[in-house]
Each structure stands twice: as structure tokens, then as C-alpha cells.
Chain A
């Protein structure tokens, strides 16, 4: 975790939509990663924990249930493109939300320890931001 964490969720990352809150999330890893690398999304919005199973994620213009990303090894999340987390919480344009996100990226070529498990590179965001209109 480092100073670049500040770029993961940005001032204009929140959008209020009819079915909830969209959060644009940027990668903190230096190269594009296959979608199963988006391994850990510990998210709370206004203090309420959001179950990953209730999230869907838009990557490269396509929307997937969070759990389905594990099967999308042939698709990549590019370095400079955000993914959109669709969060089922009630919101409206102009409303403020406190977003706390621990994002864990599983690095598929850096294996650690005797069990050779992939390194999980974390970033931590804790910001209060205003949702824009869709």
C-alpha cells in the first residue's frame, strides 16, 4: 500500500444510477491483469459492509456478477481503464457517501511461500465523495 492508493477511487468515481451506486475503481498494479486477479473487494459504504456476492462489475464494457470474474481468465483489466462496481445501495445525485475499499489484486506470476500462493497486492481507500448523476 502506498501513495498511489489515492488514485484507486477518485473524486469523480461515484455515480448515482436508478439501481444503485456505481464506483469507478482504478488498478494500482503496473500492468493489465486477467480478471480472476480481481480477487478481493472488501467494501463498506456508509459503514455498511457490502457482500461481494451482491456486486456486479463492468469491465471492458461488459457486466459480470463478481463471482463470475474467476472464470474470465482470457480477459484483462487494463492499466488505465477503470472497472465499475455496481453497488446495491440507495443513492441519488448529489448525495455523499463514505467509501472504504480494501482492494486485493492477486498477482498471477509472483508466487510466495512454500505453498506458492500468488502475492495479493492490497490498496486501501477511505474517502467521502459525492455521487454525480448518471
Chain B
């Protein structure tokens, strides 16, 4: 199938601009303007992060939100929910409270015009099942994020798949996070560890073990035997949080996949992601007939903020230049 035959759209999670938002150098409106400028027209937002007054949205904010969408040529696509199971210090949220929390967040998505809600990985399958009828009634899909180190054969994901297939609910599905396709260890992470005092020989060992797709879980012991310090242990632990798996595994689940969190750590000047092979991921999505959004999720800021100012806008711009190339979009320059 040629790249031009697909229905894949480009979007951005405003989480990508967390550094600038935190430092108050970009407002929500600035994020939307930038998204519109780079053609990332589908917007994903974390209400807890960027909607003042959460969970009580004001009419004023909602009105502004839609007027910004119109002004910058963008459209709301997804919100991300959290499940604060340890909200209270002395007890866990009951199942009823968890379902109520999900339903509250469905209402917030509807208010913001989004038809997709990211269900965080810790959402139990039975909570998804109980919340599904309400989501369906509201015209919203609850998509479980498939986040590293989880994958499609993991028991937790299998339990979720069982619910999705047994109920056949149109309101339930999957949201793969591309952090499950980290083929090489992100160098922004290993370089940060070196700056933080990790031992070069242990950093090399950790990176090489990861890059060879070796036994990362054994690294903690080796770091221990080699007298590693906190930086070495931190990096070894990090190596177990990334995973590489075969992107083609998504094909089997494609009918359930409604949205992609296009995680990335470093877009190089050549507009390539250093550790995640998007040039092999995007063709799988095209082959599977995915018709949702590739939603940028930049998460490299925390690894470089100690040495130079973070430029999330340039990072997201580069990722979208790559997407446009991989999706066969004709740019003005090529025309």
C-alpha cells in the first residue's frame, strides 16, 4: 500500500510543551498556535495539567478553548485521564470511586470536545468494563494506554483484551505508546547519567546490553558487583523501563487501536528519532489501516534541562517534518 492511501492524521499532546508551560514561557494558547503552525491539528491535553480549576471547568475556559481551536485551525481529539488510586492516605479508592473518577473524566472530555480518553495503564480491566456503557452513551472511547514496559502478551494487557473482546464494547480500545518501540537506548538519558556522576564503564555496559536487546534485568546485579553508585543504579533501572518489541504486533490489534501516543526523546537535526524507528512503525500503521492521530509526546526535556534550555517546539516541529515525510505528505517546497 502506498503512503498516500492512508487516513492517518497528525496531532500533538500539549504535554510535549510541559517545560515551557511550567516555566510560564508558553500558555495553552501558545501551545495551540504552535501546533496549528506545524500542521499538528489534532489536540490531546492532560486536563490536570493545563485546565485551570480542574476538575471544575469554567464556562469561560471552555469558550476560550473552542475559540482558540477555530483561530489556529486545530481540533480537540483526546484527553488523558489519571486514576489516583491512592488519593487518600489511609485507604485505596473503592471500585465504585474508580469508576466515578473515570466517568468524571469522560464528562470533562465531552466538555472539551474530545471523543477519545486515554485510560492510564493502572486502570483495572473491571473499571474499564463498568465505565464503558457510560462512555458509549457519551460518544467517547476509553483507550487503554499500552505503555512500556507493558506489551500485548503481558498478563495485565491480556486481562484488558479479554474484557474488550468479551464485551465487544465500541467504547473500549487501545492507545499504544511508542515508548514500547525503543530500539536503542536514548543517548539523552545515558549522557545525563554521565553528567550526574555515573561511571562511564557501567554506562557503556548498560547501553550496550540494552542496544543488543540483552538481559536488562540482570544489570542491577552487575552494577552492584561493579560497585555502582546511585547514578548507575538509576540508569540500570531505567533500562528495564524501556522496551523494544516488534511494531508489527500492533497489526493483530488494529481494530482496537484508536490513537497513537508518538513518544519521543530526541529528534536529531536530520529529523530522525534517535532511539525509536518511526520509519518502520509508520508503515505498520498504514498497512493496518489505522485512521486516527499520531499524537506527539515529547519527553526528552527532563534529560537535558540541566545543561541547556529545552526547545520543545523545535523538537515537535522536527517530529512532524518526519511524520509528513513518512506519510507521503507533499510539502510546499517539493511542489
Q: CB within 8 Å of B: which residues of A?
A: 2-4, 7, 30-34, 36, 39, 70, 73, 76, 78-81, 106, 108-109, 111, 116-118
Contact = CB atoms under 8 A, between A and B. Distances in A.
Contacts of A34: 84, 87
Contact of B54 (A36, A39, A76, A111): A76
Interface of B: 15, 18, 21-24, 46, 48-50, 52-55, 82-89, 120, 122, 302, 305-306
A116 B92 CA distance: 11
A3 B306 contact: yes
A34 B85 CA distance: 12
A70 B120 CA distance: 24
Nearest to A30: B18
Dominant SS among interface residues on chain B: loop
Contacts of A108: 84-87
A79 B84 contact: no
Contact of B83 (A4, A32, A109): A109
Dominant SS among interface residues on chain A: mixed
A70 B89 CA distance: 7
Contacts of A116: 86
A30 B305 contact: no
Contacts of B87: 34, 36, 73, 108
A80 B49 CA distance: 9
Given A7-B23, A79-B48, A79-B49, 4 more contacts: A32-B49, A76-B54, A108-B86, A109-B84
A120 B23 CA distance: 22
A29 to B, nearest CB: 9
16 contacts: A4-B22, A30-B18, A31-B46, A31-B82, A36-B87, A39-B89, A73-B88, A79-B21, A79-B22, A79-B49, A79-B50, A80-B21, A108-B84, A109-B84, A111-B86, A117-B86
Chain A to chain B: the 8 pairs with minimum beta-carbon distance, closest first = A108-B84, A31-B48, A108-B86, A31-B49, A32-B48, A118-B86, A73-B87, A108-B87
A35 B46 CA distance: 18
Contact of A4 (B46, B48, B88, B305): B305
Contacts of B83: 109
Contacts of A30: 15, 18, 22, 46, 49
B112 to A, nearest CB: 15
Nearest to A117: B86
B48 A111 contact: no
Contacts of B18: 30
Nearest to A111: B86
Contacts of B24: 80
A76 B48 CA distance: 9
B22 A36 contact: no
Given A7-B23, A36-B88, A2 B302 contact: yes
A8 B15 CA distance: 20
A36 B89 contact: yes
A48 to B, nearest CB: 27
A2 B46 contact: no
Nearest to A27: B22
B156 to A, nearest CB: 14
A73 B55 CA distance: 12
A32 B89 contact: no
